[in-house]
Amino acid sequence: MNAQRSVELTHDELVRETLLALRSLTDSLDRMHGVLKDAMGMNGTDLAALRMMVIREERGESVSPHDVARHLHISTASTTKLLDRLTTAGFVERHLHPHDRRARVVVLTKSLRQTFGQHFGTRMSPIREVVEQYDDRELGIIERFLSELSERIEGVE
């Protein structure tokens, strides 16, 4: 939708157009993740776990096996199998928790970062090109919108 057209639409119509655009975006992201999953030779759950770990790492948060299970809504047995696959593939390592020696944390490997960079980096380039078209004020609004949307979606169980 172009800026000229948005002037002609009512608020309700703009809300509908925004929701349709979000649906289209999520469909595009689903397809991109499907291609990435295939390129990396893994299943969707494994890729979702890695994406979650990358996001948490970028926030400076540690990830426990329990965090993975809760995020993916899978059992501890399934989580153990998933982490075994990712460890065997060289994508993660399990370490003792730095503050609680009884617990474990899951850490991404350099190999995963390189592999993710190879496959995901080329797909991020066009996204970055679009983002860079917006000025700082617009980016602030977009970031706030996406963050609030993510928080609300996470809050729905």
Number of domains, the chain: 3
Query: In terms of domains, do 102 and 123 share one?
Result: no
In which band, very low, low, confident or very high, does the pLDDT at 35 lie, cut at 50, 70 and 90? confident
Query: In terms of domains, do 84 and 113 share one?
Result: no
Residue bearing tokens 């948490």: 56
Query: In terms of domains, do 116 and 94 share one?
Result: no
Which of 54-58, 60-64, 96-100, 108-112 shows the lowest per-residue confidence on average (mean pLDDT)? 96-100
Looking at the domain assignment, is residue 82 inside a domain?
yes
Looking at the domain assignment, is residue 91 inside a domain?
yes
Query: In terms of domains, do 125 and 102 share one?
Result: no
- Is the model's pLDDT at 145 over the cut of 80? yes
| Other beta carbons less than 10 A from residue 50's beta carbon | 26
Query: In terms of domains, do 35 and 52 share one?
Result: no
- Is the model's pLDDT at 131 over the cut of 60? yes
- Candidates 98, 93, 123, 113; CA nearest to 51 is 113
Query: In terms of domains, do 96 and 119 share one?
Result: no
Q: Of the residues 73, 93, 108, which one is the last residue of a structural domain?
A: 108
The domain containing residue 136 runs over which residues?
109-157
d(CA 17, CA 38): 32
Query: In terms of domains, do 104 and 49 share one?
Result: yes
The one-letter code for the residue type at 73 is H
Q: What is the mean pLDDT of residues 141-146?
A: 96
- Is the model's pLDDT at 119 over the cut of 90? no
- Give me the pLDDT at residue 63, please: 94
Query: In terms of domains, do 48 and 100 share one?
Result: yes
- Is the model's pLDDT at 2 over the cut of 70? no
Query: In terms of domains, do 134 and 97 share one?
Result: no
Higher-confidence residue: 153 or 137?
Answer: 137
Query: In terms of domains, do 104 and 131 share one?
Result: no
Query: In terms of domains, do 47 and 100 share one?
Result: yes
Looking at the domain assignment, is residue 3 inside a domain?
no
Query: In terms of domains, do 92 and 134 share one?
Result: no
Higher-confidence residue: 17 or 100?
Answer: 17
CATH number of the domain that residue 94 is part of: 1.10.10.10
Looking at the domain assignment, is residue 2 inside a domain?
no
Q: What is the mean pLDDT of the chain?
A: 89
The one-letter code for the residue type at 145 is F
